[in-house]
Amino acid sequence: MTEAATPDVKSTRFRAVDGALIAMMILPILALIVLKVLFTPAADGVQIAGAMIYAEFEAPVMPVIITESQINTWAVMISILGLCLYLTHGLTAKAVCRRQLIAEWIVEKCQGLVNSNMGDYFSAWAPFIAAIMALSAFSSLICLFGLFSPTGDVNVTFGWALLVFFLIMYYKFRGGLWNYFIGLFKPIPVFAPMNLIGEFSTPISMAFRHYGNVLSGAVISALIGSALSGLSKSLLGWLPGFLGDIPFLRIGLPAVLSIYFDVFSGVMQAFIFAMLTMLNVSGAVPWEEWAARREKRKKLKEKLSKSAA
Amino acid sequence: MLELAMGIMLGLLGLGAGCAMIAGIGPGIGEGNAVAKACEAIGRQPECKSDVTSTMIMGCAIAETTGLYGLIVAILLIFVAPGSFTGILKEAIK
């Protein structure tokens, strides 16, 4: 591969593409805020609700519902795509731009994490794990803009967990269907129902863990917010004019608490979801049975080719 | 009659949600144990601090799951159950 030509960082074209990519990062979030402001009905008191339904279409089997969580997930995906394109814009061997260092750091960290947790056989999985982690973390973090976190909707996290469940099943079947079936009856046949439940509890526990953590953070934030606005109404309601209507106590204090409930919890859950994906998938491969099966097939092939010749 | 039944139902749902959150005790004790042991381990071998910390946080997150199941049951009882139970109650009283 020949070395790419060094891009002219100061040229107008480079800057224009940069600006477009930054707009791609920021505009979806702004659009979401506008959408939320337009669609949310004005209400007083504690507001704890699930995802808003934006549109509903008739379909043959069941109505197709466009909810807030779908729209927010797509906006977050576009935003992450913009971020990735921005970080990798102008990549060279010599690293002209500072952002290349950030991109390299992210890639190295992800590769190292996957290699140390899944082994060398799965080293091609780094992009998938990084994608899951980024989507999950950014989906949880958009509640900092006052938007609904898609991960606070059980359907979203359950979808991801189902994806992971199918991957686990695929790798478990690698050792042969019969071997998998026999494995359910180990160590003694009485354990079969429990083993079966254990298989299906993996996606449920993964989905509910992520959803429960994000949702509990959101509920506590809403409760604190409404409590503080009520307190400031009773304490500072004597102020003249519109000053009395502004909930002054609500400024600042919820932000301190959201460092734990939103930022730490959201990023932590993203990391844990990715970690559990890695451990479950890499732990699902029956290495010995798989090797034995491959050996058997090889012998069968040789036999067939000999008999054909 | 309907009002009385409704009041009893809502009160019992609230009580049930409160009882469901007793599930928070278990993970609290378990995570406390885990963190205590991790502190001991770091005190004994300060050089493996990062490994111990990441493993501990992993374990804490998994231990938290049972508490979260209780939380989800409580949330369902508060936000979802009244809506569906009210219909059943009206049908039954008619």
Q: How far apart are CA A70 and CA A210, in angstroms?
A: 17
Find out whether A71 and A35 touch, Cβ atoms under 8 Å.
yes
Q: pLDDT value at position A191? A: 87
Q: Which domain holds residue B74?
A: 22-93
Q: Is A64 helix (H, G, I), strand (E, B) or coil?
A: strand
Which residues of chain A make contact with B60, given a CB cutoff of 8 A?
Answer: none
Q: pLDDT value at position A258? A: 83
Structure tokens at B47: 């050089």
Amino acid at B32: G
Residue A1 pLDDT level (bands cut at 50, 70, 90)? very low
| Strands in chain B per DSSP E | none
Find out whether A140 and A151 touch, Cβ atoms under 8 Å.
yes
Residue A219: how many other CB atoms lie within 10 Å: 18
Stretch B7-13: mean pLDDT, rounded? 91
More confident residue, A220 or A129: A129
Structural domain includes residue B2: no
Structural domain includes residue B83: yes
Q: What are phi and psi of A184, to 5 degrees?
A: -70, -25
Mean per-residue pLDDT of chain A: 85
Residue A130 pLDDT level (bands cut at 50, 70, 90)? very high
CA atoms within 13 A on the CB side of B88: 6
Which residue in A271, A277, A278 has the most chain B C-beta atoms within 10 A of its own C-beta, making it the best mutation to test that interface?
A271
Which residues of chain B make contact with A272, given a CB cutoff of 8 A?
Answer: 57-58, 61-62
Q: pLDDT value at position A20? A: 92
Structural domain includes residue B31: yes
- Cβ B58–A272 below 8 Å, yes or no? yes
Structural domain includes residue B86: yes
Residue A121: enclosing H or E segment and its boundaries? none
Structural domain includes residue B8: no
Q: How many residues does chain A have?
A: 309
Residue A53: enclosing H or E segment and its boundaries? strand A53-57
Structural domain includes residue B61: yes
Question: Residue A17 burial by CB count (10 A; 0-12/13-18/19+): exposed, middle or buried?
Answer: middle
The neighbouring-strand residues paired with A53 are: A67
ipTM of the complex as predicted: 0.78
pLDDT in tens, A167-218: 999 988 887 788 888 888 878 888 888 888 888 888 998 999 899 888 888 8
Shortest Cα–Cα distance, B72 to chain A (Å): 7
Q: Taking an 8 Å Cβ-Cβ cutoff, which residues of chain A contact chain B?
A: 48, 205, 208-209, 211-213, 215-216, 219, 268-269, 272, 275
Measure the N-to-C terminal CA separation of chain A; round to a whole number of Å: 44
More confident residue, B17 or A90: B17
DSSP state of A65: E
pLDDT in tens, A225-284: 888 888 888 887 777 777 777 777 777 788 888 888 888 888 988 999 998 899 888 888
Q: How far apart are CA A254 and CA A262, in angstroms?
A: 11
Find out whether A160 and A132 touch, Cβ atoms under 8 Å.
yes
- Cβ B71–A205 below 8 Å, yes or no? no
Structural domain includes residue B12: no
pLDDT in tens, B46-64: 999 888 988 888 888 888 8
Q: pLDDT value at position A45? A: 61
pLDDT in tens, A48-101: 667 788 888 888 888 888 888 899 999 999 999 999 999 988 788 777 778 888
Query: A43: which residues sit within 8 A by CB, 6+ positions away?
Result: none
Q: How many domains does chain B have?
A: 1
Structural domain includes residue B30: yes
